[in-house]
Structure 1
Amino acid sequence: MKICFIGPSMGDCGGVQRVMAVIANGLSADHEVTMISLDNDTERSFYPLADKVRLVNYNDYHYNKNWIARGIRGLAKRRQKVLPASLAKYAYFPEYLIDGVCNLVKQGEYDCVIGSTVSSAVLVGLMKEKLPGVRLIGWHHNSYEIYFQTPVHGFLIQRKLSAIALRKLDALITLTAHDAGKYQEQMKINAGYIYNPLSFSSQQKSTLTDKILLFVGRLERKQKGTDMLLDIAEELFHHRGYGDWKLRIIGNGSGYKDTEEDIRRHGLEDQVELLGEREEVIPFYREASVFVSTSRWEGFGLVITEAMECGLPVVSFRTDGPSEIIRDGQDGILIDNYRKGQFADALERLMTDEELRKRMGTAATERAEEFNLAHILRKWESVLTGDTPYL
């Protein structure tokens, strides 16, 4: 089978790109796999791709630059009003843009095309009539509420168009059962879900004895809650007397400088290590004793399963993805959104009770086995062939 992924720049570091690379590499063992990377400014992928995975950059992909279309987008963004489907299509997905991507798909003679972001999934749905005989799949990496009920990603504006386009797909895959249900409830789309796979396996686990808390993720304050993370760190290190512990923060993003400033503002320069972007994160998981996720929303939480694979208990707010991954009280602790005091209490329990950490760490390792790549690839094979369209 010839498979084509359409998605974001693979030159960027991010959870979407990481899991796309893992799935593409896995499928390339038995299939021809191409990744069409939209607006990529580099010839390489940030995450390693198998030799059999071909990367194609399509840098002519961009929104309609017509001044009327730009005006519609600007006004809609300011007012956060849902546009009529026809107007949204004119402003965001003009025919020449659809035709350009269609031509790439036709040239590749692909059997299956996977739109790997919400925007790409809508684009692929709008290509349906132009690609007879090609199996078209959408793959969403965040929650329905974030895409279509808040202005964060801008698809609130395009909700009517998105509903029409996504219904045309042969399958829509989300990351959680919660989100699959939301698409059925809100858009009458019979979606399925497949959890993200682990991107690595680790025979060596953390000893859970070093006094290190770990955060891994994009440094974007609004989503990842780095402001709350440092509020909690100040409470623990300055007010509850755990100054002998450290918090390591791994990641980069638009909020990097804000995070630096927050560390200084809280007086945490001696307790918080801001380590930036790292291609190799496994050693940091192995050296930590508790993993921390302070996201205000999380479609899945790939770093949570990675932490579990390395034997770490996890403390997270009760958002969509983590709520399906973490078994509260067994392999981690879920905190009501966004109770920072409760979060600090949970961390304090784990910081002071090594036996509890180790019991939860063992359970976390067992839970991580359910996200192994071979298991996840079998589900994707069923979707690609249409044998099990809705999981």
Structure 2
Amino acid sequence: MTEDLKVLHVINIGGYGGAEKLLLQLLPALNQQMVADCLILYKEDNPEAALKIASELRDRKIEVYIYSYRKLLQGSIRKAIRNYAIQGKYDLVHGHLKQADFWLSILKKRGQLKIPVVSTMHGYNDAYENKYGFVIKKSLFFSPYYLVSRSIFRQLDGFILISNIVSEFFNRSGLLPRVSQKVIPHGYDTELIPEVKASLRSLQPRIAIPGRLIRRKGHLYAIEAVRQLKAFFPGITLHIYGDGPERQTLENKVRSEGLDNTVIFHGYVHDLLMSLRDMDVILIPSLWEGFGLVFLDAFAAGVPVVAFDLPAGNEIIRHGYNGLLATPYSSDSLVENIQLLMNDDLLRQKISMAARQELIAVFNMRSMTKAYTEFYKTVLSNYKKNNRQS
């Protein structure tokens, strides 16, 4: 441990998504630089994901506290957060996701938590983003959700934003106050990177699309692309990794297209990376992403990526260098780019190698933890300065 800092990370867990996956890699890395403990809250009738993540964090030597509740608004939640923060003598609290921000903002507003609080901005609101992505519409400013969110954020002391598009959205919309902010992309534990497998042309290409089964992940575009590709590669298969509310819709689509033997639903798999490295192409046709850890999984697997030319994927992928970008919302363009990769061994290997090198050089956990540490210090310094002035 090199820094005399104690940070309590607070998160409400109801499932397994990008924020939860990030914590599993981030906290062990931070814990080598400082004390990085975690308070996990979860609803009593939905404990599975929370307890699983708590167990995985403990396996990685993280101090984990657990608190269950019945209703989001019950006052005992805030009391528990306050008690853990005070008794642990933490210098700073880091909230993850909207429920944690809500509870922490009330504690700050009431003067019951007298240490700085920062939050990571992963995205805004699924209902809005499913319609508009990160485009700011006039209707945004009249939404009760916007007004409540803006009020919550006014109580916090700093914000980490996971991509440039997320930063642009939150600042142009006026959601965030004028306090410390920093764009810090996700890092990746490079020790998890497996050896590269030989990438040879296949007459039966295996295409993977990893991610939660929700509309914005663009699974329908992938299914349509594979339907077209069967004319060129009769033995092609599409492997869908993940689960979610759109599964039934996607299964119905597969049946209606007669693709039952072509599209395989694997559900959630624990060791996704080892599954991905057996693929020929990884397809990420997301309609929008705050960041997209799945891009880094693909880089680590050593498999070339085809994605839509949309945020924040186009902040990570540089077309023709570390991946290919297709025309947004076009299955035809996905087909063209997949064919390009499948017909050119040299291009596929060049892209895979460049992506892996960029993962190691740019998106590594060392760079991320350094940026977090510097940001925490800035927030603490500003907080102490403001308190002296007041």
TM over 0.5: yes
- Stretches of structure 2 lacking an aligned partner (at least 5 in a row): 134-139, 383-390
CA contact (8 A) 1:16 1:141 kept: yes
Which of 211, 215, 232 is the aligned partner of 1:217? 211
Instruction: Tell me if 1:17 matches 2:26.
Output: no
Q: CA 1:366–1:47 in structure 2 vs 1: closer, same or farther (change >3 Å)?
A: farther
- Seq. identity, %: 21
Q: Does 1:346 align with 2:337?
A: yes
Distance between the aligned counterparts of 2:100 and 2:116, measured in 1?
15
Give the whole-Å Cα distance in 2 for the aligned partners of 1:267 and 1:17.
Answer: 36
State how far apart, in whole Å, the 1-side matches of 2:76 and 2:355 are: 49
Shift of 1:386: 1.7
What is the CA distance between 1:371 and its match in structure 2? Answer: 0.8
Separation in 1 of the partners of 2:70 and 2:105? Answer: 17
Distance change (3 Å), C-alpha of 1:216 and 1:51: closer
Distance 2:272 2:222 in 1: 20
- Paired with 1:47 and 1:263, the residues of 2 have a C-alpha distance of 36
Which one of 95, 100, 105 corresponds to residue 120 of structure 1? 100
Tell me what 2:36 maps to.
Answer: 33
Quick check: 100-109 or 334-343, which moved more? Answer: 100-109
CA distance in 2, matches of 1:56, 1:26: 19
Number of equivalent positions:
356
What's the CA shift for 1:95? 6.3
CA distance in 1, matches of 2:217, 2:322: 21
Correspondent of 1:8 among 8, 12, 18: 12
Residues 132 and 8 (structure 1), Cα distance of their counterparts in 2 relative to 1, 3 Å cut: closer
Q: How far does residue 377 in structure 1 lie from its aligned partner after superposition?
A: 0.7
Q: Which moved more, 1:52-61 or 1:280-289?
A: 52-61
Correspondences of 1:8-157 after superposition (within 5 Å) = 8-9=12-13, 12-39=15-42, 41-42=47-48, 43-45=51-53, 48-49=56-57, 50-60=59-69, 62-64=71-73, 98-129=78-109, 130-131=111-112, 133-142=114-123, 144=124, 156-157=143-144
Secondary structure of 2:94's aligned partner:
strand
**Cα gap change, 1:29 to 1:250, in 2 (>3 Å):** same
Q: How far apart are the structure 1 equivalents of 2:60 and 2:334? A: 44
Equivalence for 1:309: 300
Partner of 2:148: 161
SS at match of 2:118: strand
Of 311-320 and 372-381, deviating more is 311-320
Q: Note if contact 1:382-1:388 (Cα within 8 Å) is conserved in structure 2.
A: no
Say whether residues 1:184 and 2:163 are aligned partners.
no
Equivalent in the alignment of 2:225: 232
* Counterparts in 2 of 1:387 and 1:118: CA distance versus 1, 3 Å: closer
CA contact (8 A) 1:309 1:368 kept: yes
Shift of residue 23, structure 1, vs aligned partner:
1.0
Q: Does 1:372 align with 2:364?
A: yes
Please name the residue that 2:288 is paired with: 297
Residue 223 of structure 1 aligns with an amino acid whose one-letter code is R
Alignment partners' CA distance in 1, 2:60 and 2:164? 33
Q: How far, CA to CA, are the matches of 1:29 and 1:100 in structure 2?
A: 26
Q: Is the 8 A contact 1:213 1:246 kept in 2?
A: yes
| Matching residue within 179, 187, 210 for 1:197 | 187
Counterparts of 2:102 and 2:182 in 1: how far apart (Å)? 16
1:264 counterpart SS class: helix
Q: Secondary structure at the match of 2:103?
A: helix
How many angstroms apart in 2 are the aligned matches of 1:245 and 1:151?
Answer: 32
Residues in 2 aligned to 1:152 and 1:20: alpha-carbon distance in whole angstroms: 28
RMSD: 2.9
Distance change (3 Å), C-alpha of 1:159 and 1:352: same
Partners of 1:389 and 1:324 in 2: how far apart? 31
Match of 1:381 in 2: 373
Secondary structure of residue in 2 paired with 1:386 = helix
Deviations 1:287-319 (A, max 9, x none): 112110122221111011111122222111123
How big is the shift at 1:132? Answer: 5.0
Could you tell me which residue of structure 1 aligns to residue 387 of structure 2? none
How do 1:214-363 residues align onto structure 2 when only pairs under 5 Å count?
Answer: 214-220=208-214, 222-237=215-230, 240-363=231-354
TM-score, normalised to structure 1's length?
0.82
Q: Compared with structure 1, are the counterparts of its residues 150 and 340 closer, same or farther at alpha carbon in structure 2 (3 Å cutoff)? A: closer
- TM-score, length of structure 2 as denominator length: 0.82
Distance 1:282 1:208, change over 3 A: same
SS in 1 for 2:173: helix
Q: Secondary structure at the match of 1:380?
A: helix
Residue 234 of structure 1 deviates from its aligned partner by: 0.9
Instruction: Answer yes or no: is the 8 Å Cα contact 2:157–2:379 preserved in 1.
Output: no
User: SS of 1:121's equivalent?
Assistant: helix
In structure 2, what is the Cα distance between the partners aligned to 1:389 and 1:294? 42
SS at 1:295's partner residue?
coil
The 1-side partners of 2:91 and 2:79 are apart by 18
CA distance in 1, matches of 2:195, 2:21: 22
